[in-house]
Amino acid sequence: MTTDQDDSPRGMAAGLTHYGDSGFSLFLRRAFIKAMGYSDDALSRPIVGITDTFSGYNACHRTVPEMIDAIERGVLLAGGLPVRFPVTSMHESFSNPTSMYLRNLMAMDTEEMIRAQPMDSVVLIGGCDKTVPALLMGAASAGVPAILTVTGPMMTGDHRGERLGACTDCRRFWARFRAGEIDAAEIDEISGKLAPTAGTCMVMGTASTMALTAEALGMMLPGGAAIPAVHADRLRHCEASGARAVAMAAERLTPDRIMTPPAFRNAFRILHAVGGSTNALVHLAAVAGRLGYPLDLEAFDKLGQETPVLVDLKPSGQHYMEDLHKAGGLTPILRELRHQLELDCLTVSGRSLGEELDAAPAAWPQEVVRAFDNPIHSGGALRLLRGNLAPDGAVIKQSAASPMLLQHEGPAVVFKNLQDLAERIDDPELPVTADSVLVLKNAGPKGAPGMPEAGYLPIPKKLARQGVKDMVRLSDARMSGTAFGTIVLHIAPEAAEGGPLALVQDGDRIRLDAAAGRLQLVVEEKELASRQKTLSPSVSHAGSDRGFKYLYLKEVTQAPEGCDFSFLRPTQIGPPVP
């Protein structure tokens, strides 16, 4: 804050002409920042903002205060001045109606707070599912040099000699409870063991997927994605990130120089290779969209066909994130895919992805990351589906599905919304068999609203008791990355937008062919056209005439556009990704 001609992001953010007198504006700001106790020497340094995403509701971000201490140490050691500032914090379980509904609010908060306040670079602290995408979206739009670090995964728990991880095992045990295999006392005991430390879900859920893809994207220093939240390496990574933020300020290393189309190709490839969460597809589409790159679903699908699933982690495999950290984190995955990656991409370290790989410690024998020619699954994790039921696409996580259901035709059992599902799914009279296709409508971005993780429809109790473990289920909703099953998600356009999903009736035949990428409603075109004519709006949005809900319902886009708000995407459109 030295001259009134400062055109750095920090200078511009200082709003030097806010009072119509640039000298006075600067004078006033200096006066108020002095009240924080900073010396002139401190204020002459590069200012590194640090997003404080701690909250008493957010166990995934419980360690943020000690992370900030370590980041501040790194900034100071490198000659900068760290300044922490709050942005929205949100946890999956405590964000009503859904965290997805609030993700764009956090992204707007992040963008505007970075832009509004004077800073030369910023360290972003994410972790829980929506916080990493929201921070990356906001930082991409703000255009200030930014580096990401994450809180890191939880350690696993233990129940009667069996290893437990949130929340793949939450679902597994809940399904066993519903099937009558374990009693209320035991399920209560298990609830105390599923999340035993601070940190994010320790399976390949959305948080882990976003951390790994963000590192592959180049937005995080190498090795950061998999370090457990409570591990000392986590704090060293924070210290290094703080120090690096000081250098990035001098280099003006802005997010658009890192998050380029080839970098997104790397990230989308890693999403396939780690057996990642379907949610990450929506989030990466939103981040890319902020830089003007629309998502090309066909290209993503093609990427999957040549990229094997290599990481043996739940829910597609066996292990947990702490095992991946011990196996070397993202590095061995990058190494196996080296011939398929765009190695020239610049990362926040100032070096390219290829240079970082060359500098990484030598490989050692491990069981978590498979060799390229010995994969867990030979196609990628996710498969794009199209057909008359999903003209704008739908997605299935084939690596976590039952192979024998990936090609299936059966009669629909339709639930018109979440409430209908809750009321009828366990009705003993429900006309459902293991061959039925469970269909949930009006659970998309606008329908629910907030596109909840309701796509993992429970197996009807009467079938669960007969030992049915999986069925074909489809909806316009999302699913937790920690879940498994033959589940078709993100059907677009959604039912509430008048998509063909709205036309499905009980007993209609539905054909899923994942290998062919098809999802068909086997009903005559003529019949569908006549149903379309009588279709009445099935969603009521009480209380949606004001506030954030008003903005959300007016502006939220469909899954292929990342469910971002339409006005937050730039008007200038670049090449599609991946």
- Which residues are near ligand FES by CB under 6 A? 60, 91-92, 128-129, 200-201, 205, 207
d(CA 488, CA 404): 15
Is 266 among the residues that bind Mg ion (CB under 5 A)?
no
CA-based max dimension of the chain: 77
Cβ-based nearer residue to Mg ion, 379 or 481:
481
Exposed / middle / buried, residue 551 (Cβ in 10 Å: 0-12, 13-18, 19+): middle
Instruction: Give min distance, CB of 480 to Mg ion, in A.
Output: 4
Give least dist CB 401 to ligand FES, A: 21
HSE-CB for 24 with a 13 A CA cutoff? 5
Closest CA to 312 of 367, 365, 269: 367
Residue 60: contacted member of Mg ion, ligand FES, none (CB under 5 to 8 Å, by partner type): ligand FES
In whole angstroms, the minimum distance from the beta carbon of 91 to ligand FES comes to 6
Say how far apart CA 201 and CA 514 lie, in whole Å: 28
Q: Is residue 480 near Mg ion by the rule CB under 5 A?
A: yes
Residue 323 Cβ vs ligand FES, minimum distance, rounded to whole Å: 17
Question: What residue 245 binds from ligand FES, Mg ion, none (CB within 5 to 8 A, per partner kind)?
Answer: none
Asked if residue 6 lies in contact with residue 16, where contact means CB atoms within 8 angstroms, the answer is yes
Separation between Cα atoms, residue 90 and residue 294, nearest integer Å: 27
Closest approach, Cβ 483 to Mg ion, in A, equals 9
107 — phi, psi (to 5°)?
-65, -40
Nearer to Mg ion, 483 or 501 (CB): 483
Could you tell which of ligand FES, Mg ion, none binds residue 168, using a CB distance below 5 to 8 A set by kind?
A: none
- Choose the stretch contacting Mg ion; rule: CB under 5 A; options: 82-90, 132-140, 475-483, 539-547: 475-483
If the CB atoms of residues 196 and 574 are measured against ligand FES, the closer one turns out to be 196
Phi and psi angles of residue 487, each rounded to the nearest 5 degrees, phi first: -125, 120
Report the b/e string of 110-122 with b at 16+ CB within 10 A: bbebbbebbbbbb
Cβ-based neighbour number of residue 447 at 10 Å: 27
Q: How far is the CB of 99 from ligand FES (least distance, A)?
A: 9
CB-nearer residue toward ligand FES: 128 or 405:
128
Count of beta carbons in the 10 Å neighbourhood of residue 185 = 8
Residue 327's binding partner, choosing from ligand FES, Mg ion, none, with beta-carbon cut-off 5 to 8 A by kind? none
Question: Which entry of Mg ion, ligand FES, none binds 150, CB below 5 to 8 A by partner kind?
Answer: none
CB 271 within 8 A of CB 382: yes
Nearer to ligand FES, 128 or 487 (CB): 128
What is the closest distance, in whole angstroms, from the C-beta atom of residue 64 to ligand FES in the complex?
A: 13
Q: Is 449 in the site for Mg ion (CB under 5 A)?
A: no
Indicate which of ligand FES, Mg ion, none lies near residue 137 (CB less than 5 to 8 Å, by partner kind).
Answer: none
Instruction: Find the shortest distance in angstroms from Cβ 478 to ligand FES.
Output: 14
When the beta carbons of 144 and 321 are compared against ligand FES, the nearer one is 321
For 470-493, letters b (16+ CB in 10 Å) and e give: ebbbbbbbbbbbbbbbbbbbbbbb
Find residue 472's DSSP bridge partners.
437
Question: Considering the complex, what minimum distance in angstroms separates the CB of residue 151 from ligand FES?
Answer: 9
E strand or H helix at 520, and its extent? strand 518-522
Tell me if residue 73 falls in helix, strand or coil. helix
Member of 206, 208, 209, 399 binding Mg ion (CB under 5 A): 206
Considering only 120, 129, 476, 494, the residue that binds Mg ion (CB under 5 A) is 129
Residue of the chain from 49, 82, 153, 205 that contacts Mg ion (CB under 5 A): 205
> Which residue number, 61 or 269, has a Cβ lying nearer to ligand FES?
61
> Of ligand FES, Mg ion, none, which one sits near residue 88, judging by CB under 5 to 8 A according to partner kind?
none
Minimum distance from CB of 497 to ligand FES (Å)?
29
In three-state form (DSSP H/G/I as H, E/B as E, the rest C), the secondary structure along 326-381 is HCCCHHHHHHHCHHHCCCCCECCCCCEHHHHHHHCCCCCCCCCECCCCCCCECCCC
Residues 385 and 517: their CA atoms lie apart, in Å, by 4
Q: Which residue's CB is nearer to Mg ion, number 149 or number 480? A: 480
**Smaller CB separation from Mg ion, 91 or 569:** 91
Residue 267 binds: one of ligand FES, Mg ion, none (C-beta under 5 to 8 A by kind)? none
- Among Mg ion, ligand FES, none, the one that 324 touches (CB under a kind-dependent 5 to 8 A) is none
Residue 200's binding partner, choosing from Mg ion, ligand FES, none, with beta-carbon cut-off 5 to 8 A by kind?
ligand FES
Cβ-based nearer residue to ligand FES, 230 or 295: 230
**Rounded to the nearest whole angstrom, what is the least distance from the CB of residue 201 to ligand FES in the complex?**
3
Please state whether the peptide bond connecting residue 308 to the residue before it is cis, i.e. omega within 30 degrees of 0.
no
Stretch that binds Mg ion, among 110-118, 242-250, 367-375, 480-488 (CB under 5 A): 480-488
Choosing among ligand FES, Mg ion, none, which partner's interface includes residue 128 (Cβ < 5 to 8 Å by kind)? Answer: ligand FES
- CB 150 to ligand FES: min, Å: 10
Distance CA 100, CA 89 (A): 13
Q: Residue 102: enclosing H or E segment and its boundaries? A: helix 99-116
CB of 110 to ligand FES, least distance (A): 18
Choose between 197 and 436: whose C-beta lies nearer to ligand FES: 197
- Closest to ligand FES by CB, 16 or 125: 125
**Would you say 124 or 432 has its CB closer to ligand FES?**
124
3-state secondary structure 31-62: HHHHCCCCCHHHHCCCEEEEEECCCCCCHHHC
Helix (H) or strand (E) holding 474: strand 472-475
Nearest-angstrom CA–CA distance, 470 and 459: 7
DSSP 233-288: HHHHHHHHHHHHHHHHHHHT--HHHHS-HHHHHHHHHHHHHTT--HHHHHHHHHHH
CA pair distance 157, 171, nearest whole angstrom? 15
Residues binding Mg ion (CB under 5 A): 129, 205-206, 480
